[in-house]
């Protein structure tokens, strides 16, 4: 039980502070400003969530917003078999350069994209040395499993044939992304949880990052 609990807490950090706040709201939508140290942190830890490098993730997500729930949406359950969306095994066409042209000018993003496989292997070796086999399984591999499950559920069930919807239990696995209808209503708003009961851990980290930025 302790293994699972600590593993899931680590996942909550990755999903909320790195993927939801970093990949999604910072890189994909430019919803807030941050200092370079945060970019480095997001680019380094992002692949540990099972999300791949930031450049590819952002490209797919922007295509999703540009063509939401049409046949050009990379993972719309209206046009892609639901099992492929649920397992994150949907095929992604080549991403037009114009979709990520701003990130292609960011040397940090490009470097991490070109070297993300080496970084992942180096991370695995480091985890094995520092934590051993059992903790590496729970801290390195299991967060990727949580990510595939969480984001698969989000893309499958927050989009129906009729509408985009908020789902509270998806929110638990995705660091605040379950309030998906809110996000599609206003993609550049860094607060996805709008009501007092809409817990949004990603926005908590963004509030802290903005505070730190003002004091540096």
pLDDT reading at 89 higher than 70: no
Kindly list the distances between the CA atom of residue 124 and the CA atoms of 47, 56, 128, 130, in Å, as whole numbers in the listed order.
11, 21, 6, 10
CB 166 within 8 A of CB 179: yes
pLDDT tens for 14-69 read 999 999 999 999 999 999 999 999 999 999 999 999 888 999 999 999 989 888 88
- Between 98 and 88, name the one with better pLDDT: 98
Please give the average per-residue pLDDT across 96-124, as a whole number: 93
pLDDT reading at 162 higher than 80: no
Which letter, b or e, does each residue of 111-125 get, where b requires 16 or more Cβ atoms within 10 Å of its Cβ?
ebbeebeebeeebee
Percentage with pLDDT > 70 across the chain: 97
Measured distance CA(117)–CA(24) in Å, rounded: 21
pLDDT at 188: 94
pLDDT at 85: 79
Measured distance CA(191)–CA(34) in Å, rounded: 15
Measured distance CA(118)–CA(99) in Å, rounded: 26
Locate 70 and state its tokens.
């049409």
pLDDT at 93: 67
pLDDT bracket for residue 79 (50, 70, 90): confident
pLDDT tens for 118-138 read 999 999 999 999 999 999 999
- Between 172 and 90, name the one with better pLDDT: 172
SS3 164: strand
CB 78 within 8 A of CB 68: no
Residue 70 neighbours by CB distance under 10 Å: 10
pLDDT at 120: 92
Q: Which helix (H) or strand (E) holds 13?
A: helix 2-13
38: burial class by Cβ within 10 Å (0-12, 13-18, 19+)?
buried
The beta strands (E) that lie in 27-172 are given as none
Measured distance CA(140)–CA(115) in Å, rounded: 18
pLDDT at 200: 94
pLDDT tens for 194-205 read 888 999 999 999
What average pLDDT does the chain have? 90
Measured distance CA(86)–CA(83) in Å, rounded: 5
pLDDT reading at 88 higher than 70: no
């Amino acid at each position: 039980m302790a293994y699972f609990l600590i593993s899931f807490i680590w996942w909550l950090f990755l999903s909320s502070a790195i993927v939801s706040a970093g990949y999604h709201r910072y890189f994909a939508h430019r919803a807030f400003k941050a200092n370079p140290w945060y970019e480095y942190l997001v680019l380094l830890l992002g692949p540990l969530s099972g999300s791949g490098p930031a450049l590819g993730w952002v490209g797919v997500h922007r295509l999703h917003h540009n063509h939401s729930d049409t046949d050009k949406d990379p993972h719309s359950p209206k046009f892609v078999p639901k099992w492929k969306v649920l397992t994150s095994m949907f095929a992604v066409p080549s991403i037009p350069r114009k979709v990520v042209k701003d990130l292609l000018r960011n040397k940090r993003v490009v470097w991490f994209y070109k070297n993300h496989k080496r970084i992942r292997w180096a991370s695995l070796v480091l985890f094995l040395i520092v934590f051993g086999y059992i903790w590496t399984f729970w801290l390195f591999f299991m967060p990727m499993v949580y990510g595939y499950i969480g984001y698969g559920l989000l893309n499958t069930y927050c989009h129906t044939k009729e509408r985009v919807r908020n789902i509270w239990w998806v929110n638990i696995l995705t660091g605040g992304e379950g309030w998906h209808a809110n996000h599609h209503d206003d993609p550049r708003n860094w607060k996805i949880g709008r009501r007092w009961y809409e817990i949004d851990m990603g926005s908590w980290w963004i509030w802290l990052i903005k505070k730190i930025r003002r004091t540096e």
